[in-house]
Chains A and B, each alone.
Chain A
Amino acid sequence: MKEESREEGEVVVRMSDKEWEFVKDLNVRKKVKESFDALTPRQQDYTVRHLRDSLGVEFIAGLLFTLIIMVWSLFMDAPLKELANPSYTPADERAPWYFIGLQELLAYFDPWLAGVVIPTVLFVGLLAIPFIDPKKESGIGRYTLVERPVAVPAFCFGFALWYGLIIVGQFFRGPGRMFYWPWEDRTLLKGLHAVELVNFPVIGGIIFFILYYGIGVVVPQFIFRKFCETLGVARYYIFIILFLTMMLVPVKIFLRCVFDVKYILSLQIGNTMLNF
């Protein structure tokens, strides 16, 4: 990080070391004028004409996609079913595809978790990413796994989870939102789950969550010491809790599919059932 002195009228630019190497010989005023001659020969080598080299490519990409969309639209009509009928629910009612991942979660979680809490945690987690990441300098401007061994896999896992749920919800669900393999006949209606789903006992559920978060928070501190030190205490706790909460989604799906667990924890508070 380079921060130059702030005198009257001077513009302060925060940049990485590499960026600084590139611009350090430039006079700020000349840079504003965008005068190509003001650059040193080496910088001229690293500089391209925006209109010719970059905007041109963008323009061609735009043209290409206009063509693709036109051809797509000529040969495939946008869906339009019969007039809306509030009194008749279709057998396979589904949300638009970008929300179908959340609808897919409805099979495993209660609606307030699947539709409200999980999206909210996701949104807050996304907003927090720049402030959690402790490496302010590394891995900027290139695709690298070596320099960011935790951040890249964690984000990619979440991204893949989101699109994985969408693919399952879109292509593997038939009438009544039951699971159908692509080769199964969708005109045959599947019965409801034959196996009776079981709940964890309340104590068991509480112990499960305490152990899950307890082990999840404490153990990495001993195994990945260096990682925890670079993060710092506050960042580490925020990161690990968000990460463990994200991992609860596949954990619950696993428990449901393999052990027929309905709810890990089912609490009754007053008239309200809180099911996790």
Chain B
Amino acid sequence: MDEKKEKGEKRGNSFKKTQVYKAIFGDLLYGEFKLSSPINSLIRAVAKAMQLNPYNMSAGGRKIITYTFCLGGLSVFFFALLACTGTFLMLYYNPDVNKAYSNVEDFRYIVPFGVLIRNMHRWTAHLMVLFVSLHMLRVFLTGAYKPPRELNWIVGVFLLVLTMLASFTGYLLPWDQLAYWGVTIGCSMGENIPVIGAKGPFAVLKSGSDINAVLVGGASVGQPTLLRFYLLHAIAIPLSIVALMGYHFWRIRRAGGVSGPL
């Protein structure tokens, strides 16, 4: 019996020593969440959270222009700018196929500063997608995904995908030819998923009831798609990005700052 128990424990321990386990659970078990007393751990968590902006940091921070190129910071800045301009655009926009296009035309001709805000929203979105991907390149080249930062890399990959999806869902909202056919091409990818897409290999579902119909809300892009994409673009994706970003930054501090040259 005892031998069996020991063996079992050993097996569990060897799993705990793997990189995957440490990356995901390491902080929770060894870090400040170790519950000696609830108040203690709360104080320690707050103290750690405060270090999001520490008063002092290592000299690597001085090389911010030539080392990180501000890529991550500027991505956050672009996100904030997009949130501000996007909120303004929401005031005048209806996710309705009969109104959307004329609403967007109103930004050009009627709404004060409408054209400027819409342009800013569009160009900033392009810049954000570009900068997030460049940020990933920087993180890879400086080895900033290595322990203890693996989980942050994973969160970052999800943030990259979410950024692209946010931009893609926003692409449909003006409801012009560019948007309609661009999104039609993008969504046709859903039709080609094996088994659950209507046109994919080994398709079992018919067009109009496959996975693409769930995403688009019908057999082709239409009013349900516009409403879905509006909801995703204005609420679901930004909130997910904010949540993941918060965790992303906290993990940077938790790992002892940017993987800067010390």
- Is A80 within 8 A of B176, CB to CB? yes
Residues of B within 8 A of A270 (CB): 202
A98 pairs with B261, CB closer than 8 A: no
- Out of A46, A51, A129, name the residue touching B58 (CB < 8 Å): A46
29 A–B contacts from the bound complex (CB under 8 Å): A1-B147, A6-B30, A9-B40, A14-B22, A34-B55, A34-B56, A36-B56, A47-B57, A48-B57, A65-B77, A72-B123, A78-B118, A80-B104, A80-B105, A80-B176, A81-B177, A85-B177, A90-B177, A96-B168, A110-B192, A131-B23, A136-B147, A140-B143, A140-B146, A141-B261, A143-B141, A155-B141, A156-B137, A269-B202
The answer to the question of B194 belonging to the interface, with a C-beta cut-off of 8 Å to chain A, is yes
Asked if B60 and A141 make an inter-chain contact with CB atoms under 8 angstroms apart, the answer reads: yes
Question: What count of chain A residues pass the 8 Å CB interface test?
Answer: 94
| Beta-carbon contacts under 8 Å, A1-45 to B | 1, 6, 8-9, 11-15, 18-19, 21-23, 32, 34, 36, 39, 45
Q: Of the listed stretches A52-60, A216-224, A242-250, name the one at the interface; the rest are far from the partner chain.
A: A52-60
Query: Could you say which residues of chain A place their CB within 8 Å of the CB of B13?
Result: none
Contacts of B123 in A (CB 8 A): 69, 72-73, 76, 78
Query: Chain B interface: which of A111-119, A178-186, A191-199?
Result: A111-119
> Is B61 interfacial (CB-CB < 8 Å)?
yes
Cβ 8 A contact of A83, one of B137, B143, B176: B176
Query: Would you call A203 an interface residue if the criterion is a C-beta within 8 Å of the partner chain's C-beta atoms?
Result: no
Report if B59 contacts A (CB, 8 A): yes
**Between A and B, how many residue pairs show CB distances below 8 Å?**
258
Q: When chains A and B are docked, how far (Å) is the Cα of A73 from the Cα of B177?
A: 22
Whether A65 and B127, one on each chain, are in contact in the complex, defined by CB atoms closer than 8 angstroms, is: yes
Q: Is the CB of B119 within 8 A of A66?
A: no
Contacts A81-B177, A86-B222 given; 18 further ones with Cβ under 8 A? A11-B44, A39-B56, A46-B59, A47-B59, A49-B55, A70-B116, A80-B174, A90-B177, A99-B164, A99-B186, A112-B194, A130-B23, A130-B147, A130-B153, A131-B23, A155-B137, A159-B137, A272-B201
Chain A positions within 8 Å of B, measured between CB atoms, are 1, 6, 8-9, 11-15, 18-19, 21-23, 32, 34, 36, 39, 45-51, 53-55, 57-58, 61-62, 65-66, 69-70, 72-74, 76-86, 88-90, 93-99, 102-103, 110-112, 115-116, 123, 126-127, 129-131, 133, 135-143, 148, 151-152, 155-156, 159, 269-270, 272-274
CA of A49 to CA of B58, assembled, Å: 9
A137 to chain B, nearest CB (A): 8
Residues of A within 8 A of B54 (CB): 34, 50
Partner of B144, one of A70, A78, A140: A140
Task: Say whether B74 contacts A116, CB under 8 Å.
Answer: no
Identify B64's interface contact among A19, A58, A86, A148, CB under 8 A: A58
Ranked 5 nearest A-B pairs via Cβ: A115-B189, A73-B119, A84-B180, A78-B122, A130-B150
Instruction: Return chain A residues, CB-CB under 8 Å to B261.
Output: 141-142
Q: Which residues of A contact B47 (CB under 8 A)?
A: 32
Known A-B contacts A50-B55, A69-B127, A95-B185; the reply to A141 vs B143 at CB < 8 A is yes
